[in-house]
Amino acid sequence: MIAKWLSTAALIALAAFVAPSAQAQGQTPNTAVSGTITLVAYAGIFQDNYVATVVEPFQRHFPNVRVNYFPGGTSAQMLGTARAQRNDPQTDVIIMDASVSMIGNGEGLFERLTPADVPSLNELFPEARAAGGEFGPAVTFDHLVLVYDTQRVQPPLTTLRQLWDPSLRGQLGVSAPPNIQGLALTVMVAKMEGADYRQTIDPAIRRLRELAPSVQTFDPSPDGYTLILNGAIRVATGWNARAQLIHDQSQGRLGVLLPPEGSVYQINTINVTRGGRNRAAALAFTNYALGQEAQKAFTERMFYGPTNARAQISPAALARTAASPENQARMIPVDWSWMATVRDQWNNRWRREVIAAGSR
Amino acid sequence: MSLLRRPGMLWLALPATAVLLFTYVAPMFGLARMSFNRTLPGGAMQPDWTLATYAEMAADSFNLELTLNSIQLSFTATTFALLLAYPVSLFLFRTESRFRSLLAIIAIGPLLVNGVVRVFGWIAVLGDRGLVNSALLALGLVSEPVRLIYNWTGVTIGLTESLLPYMVLALLAGFGRLDREVEAAAMSLGARPWRVFVRVTLPLSLPAIVLGWLICFILAMSAFVTPKLLGGGRVFVLATQVFEEAVDTVNWPLAAALSVYMLVLLLLFLGAYGALTRRVER
């Protein structure tokens, strides 16, 4: 599944395969498309890096197009914006979590995309295309990691199972469901216990109940990385891309572990707003964002896994994503549309069985 | 003749009424309308006129738990705020110090600081490595940090503090009936200070207490920031559930239905307050 295509990605990247069409896309300024588009995506370091590695290069390739980057908050807030503007869209392209864009697709807020409109679709991993169905495909892959304080967790964290170590009692920050980190952790713990999460999560819930007394907060605010760096906790759940960046910014204080027991992908899709004011420019931007140049630049800057199979990622950056040969075998496939059907049930079990066991 | 019955007086209320209509009443109708939409299995929202979301809400026993949690938390925090604010307010009302205004500003000063910042302040004070735990550990009173945040204790402390300025303001506004001469009369007839307080001061300040308690109870019921940030994912109340349904699970009809339910609940409390006030005034 996803591991397979990431394996292919790594081989393709290492073989330095170059598609002529992409080279042309990267080098020839296109003046035929013009106007202004509004891109809605995440704020903070995502915005800083996406503007530098994707938006600005795009504007150099399409000098007559101006991209306004609007930080849209969470994926749910972006969906709210799209819902509110359904009859008069003010946005053209939205990057959001696949579990939320799926809802927008169901409500007819986003356009169906074809290779005729977006040629880069032909270069994507099949799973990246499948993440959006006929609609906007995956533009980044991320995955759940354990982040820890390298100064206060000795020896360094090497397995998921170590979370149950008594020395970490009261030192954990775990994002509980409905946060997707909590859902992903449930899948990982189920696998650790030898269970198939699609059949039963009973073994996972049993183990998580045992973990609950060690958890200081089930809702780390503002996030686990910050709580670790200010010394409030020692270990937390997090997303790889941000964790890798903060690892560098903190000179290695924040450690990042993709547990050998496995991890789960988080997928961001890129979506063209239905009825947007500048469809041609929106499609051109989407095509560029999914293209080899943008995928390579953003992965090497922020360590999101690429969704373009032909993107030539440097081996050093690739090793810090789930696309590296070593990491890809650890990934556990999750169908987020299936997850949407069991999320409430899992959420209730966490509240009644896991969090309740950790009340102090 | 009542002020409002005078010709032209109603026009004075028009600007505020118009603003309220646009900023409060219209959105509330929008919210109520949203609650009748349908959520499809994949999460997509379908415009509809259905009571399915209310039926789902009523069938989930967790919502009753949330209601009881909200009432218990609000009752506790409001009562603590009243107990702490009453002596301060009485002092501020009675003092003739030239620093009275300054003291009043200090009492309501927390309102000048953003609520989120105040909560993060509490995290710094009550956290494992915060001021309180550092002092307890330094004095040898405990061997490991006492958990004061990310649980009900932390939320109750934070909420009580956030309600205090409102309680002080409400009490100061409601102390109008307190008359020193009545207390002096009681003392001249031989009543001791404690008896004067219980038999004269307290009954005369009952309207202020009821007013302050109600305002703060309503604020506590709808408080979101404190339970969310200080609760550590362990404190489930109606306000946090509305946020979760709106932002995490993106089930807007359910979030809207829960909001309407909260509104009805608060209206019921207001009705009870009206009845209680009439009884106190009699």
DSSP characters over A67-115 = EEEEE--SHHHHHHHHHHTTTS---SEEEEEHHHHHHHHHTT-B----T
Q: Is the pLDDT of residue A133 over 80?
A: yes
B250: nearest CB among A76, A218, A351: A76
| Vertex A316 angle, CA A310 and A319, to 5° | 80
Q: Over the stretch B51-62, which tens digit does the pLDDT of each residue have?
A: 999 999 999 999
Q: Which CATH superfamily is domain A143-263+334-353 in?
A: Periplasmic binding protein-like II (3.40.190.10)
Three state DSSP letters for A45-74: HHHHHHHHHHHHHHHHHCCCEEEEEEECCC
A118 by Cβ neighbours in 10 Å (0-12 / 13-18 / 19+) ranks as buried
- In this predicted complex, what is the ipTM? 0.86
- Tens-place pLDDT, residues B102-111: 998 998 888 9
Mean pLDDT (chain B) is 91
Q: How far, in Å, are A151, A172, A188, A211 from residue A162 at the CA level?
A: 16, 11, 13, 11
Specify the DSSP class assigned to residue A200: -
CA distances from A152 to A39, A99, A325, B126, B276 (A): 41, 35, 30, 21, 57
Mean pLDDT of A308-324: 93
Residue A37 has pLDDT above 60, yes or no: yes
B254-276 mean pLDDT: 92
Name residues whose C-beta falls within 8 Å of residue B136's C-beta, 6 or more positions apart in sequence. B142, B145, B146
Contact (CB, 8 A) for B35 and B29: no
Q: Is residue B24 part of a domain?
A: no
Buried-exposed string B16-48: b where 16+ CB fall within 10 A, e elsewhere: eeeeeeeeeeeeeeebeebbbbebeeebbbeee
Is residue A19's pLDDT more than 60?
no
- Report the candidate in A334, A340, A264, A283 with the shortest Cα–Cα distance to residue A100: A340
pLDDT value at A16 more than 80: no
Is the separation of the CB atoms in B194 and B235 below 8 Å? no
Q: pLDDT per residue over B120-163, tens digit each?
A: 999 999 998 899 999 999 999 999 889 999 999 999 999 999 99
Give the model's pLDDT for residue A304. Answer: 95
Judge whether residue A7 has pLDDT over 80: no
Cβ B234–A351 below 8 Å, yes or no?
no
- ω into residue A222 within 30 of 0, thus cis? yes
Structural domain boundaries in chain A: 15-141+265-312, 143-263+334-353
φ, ψ for residue A277, nearest 5 deg: -80, -20
A346 against B2, higher pLDDT: A346
Set of chain A residues whose Cβ sits within 8 Å of the Cβ of B232: 216-219
pTM surpassing 0.80? Answer: yes
Interface contact flag, A219 B151, Cβ < 8 Å? no
Cα angle for residues B109, B113, B31 (degrees, 5° grid):
115
Least confident window among A72-86, A286-300, B80-94, B171-185:
B171-185
Report the distance separating Cα A233 and Cα A136, nearest Å. Answer: 38
Worst-scoring range by mean pLDDT, A184-193, A268-277, B16-25? Answer: B16-25
| Chain A nearest-CA residue for B147 | A360
Percent of chain A exceeding pLDDT 70 equals 92
pLDDT at A15 over 80: no
Q: For the CA atoms of chain A, what is the radius of gyration? A: 20
State whether B44 and A107 contact (CB < 8 Å): yes
What is the pLDDT at residue B158?
Answer: 96
CA B196, CA B182: separation in Å to the nearest integer?
A: 9
Taking the C-alpha atoms of residue B215 and residue B177, their distance in angstroms, rounded to an integer, is 19
Strand partners, B161: none
Mean pLDDT of B171-197: 89
- DSSP class per residue in B53-66: HHHHHHH-HHHHHH
Binary contact (B249, A231; C-beta < 8 A): no
| Residue A37 contacts residue A68 (beta carbons within 8 Å) | yes
Residue A25 pLDDT more than 80? no
Counting the structural domains of chain B, the total is: 1
Whether residue A155 is preceded by a cis peptide bond, meaning omega within 30 degrees of 0, is yes
| CATH 3.40.190.10 is held by the domain A15-141+265-312 | yes
At B12 the pLDDT is 86
Average pLDDT, chain A: 91
Report the alpha-carbon distance of residue A235 to residue A160 in Å, rounded: 11
Spell out where chain B has E strands: 38-39, 45-46
Tokens for A162, please give them: 């170590």
Q: Taking residues B100-119, what's their average pLDDT? A: 90
Q: Which residues contact A286 (CB under 8 A, 6 or more apart)?
A: A93, A113, A118, A120, A136, A270, A272
More confident residue, A202 or B181: A202
Domain membership of residue B53 (yes or no) is: no
Q: Is A291 left (phi over 0), alpha (psi -120 to 50) or beta?
A: beta
Q: How far is B84 from chain A (nearest CA, A)?
A: 26
Task: Give residue A236's Cα distance to chain centre.
Answer: 17
Domain limits at B140? Answer: 61-281
Asked whether residue B231 is assigned to any structural domain, the reply reads: yes
What is the rounded distance in angstroms from the CA atom of residue B265 to the CA atom of residue B224? 16
Say if residues A288 and A58 touch (Cβ distance below 8 Å). yes
CB contact under 8 A, A217 and B232: yes
Distance from C-alpha of A221 to C-alpha of B230, rounded to nearest angstrom: 9
Average pLDDT over residues B195-214: 92
Q: Indicate if the pLDDT at residue B172 is higher than 90.
A: yes
Q: Which residues of A touch B244 (CB under 8 A)?
A: 178
| Rounded to 5°, angle at Cα A175 from A169 and A177 | 125
CATH number, domain containing residue B142: 1.10.3720.10
At A14, the pLDDT band (50, 70, 90 cuts) reads very low
The answer to whether position B35 is within a domain reads: no
**Is B273 contained in some domain?**
yes
Amino acid at A327: N
Contact B62, B77 (CB under 8 A): no
Chain B residues with CB-CB distance to A340 below 8 A: 41-43
Contacts of residue A292, defined as CB under 8 A and 6 or more positions apart, other chains included, come to A18, A19, A22, A26, A123, A308, A310, A311, A312
DSSP, res A306: P
- Statement: residue A10 has pLDDT above 50: no
Cβ-Cβ contacts under 8 Å, A343 against chain B: 249
Structure confidence by residue, pLDDT tens digits, B81-95: 999 999 999 999 999
CB contact under 8 A, A219 and B232: yes
- Put simply, the answer to whether A106 touches B44 (Cβ < 8 Å) is yes
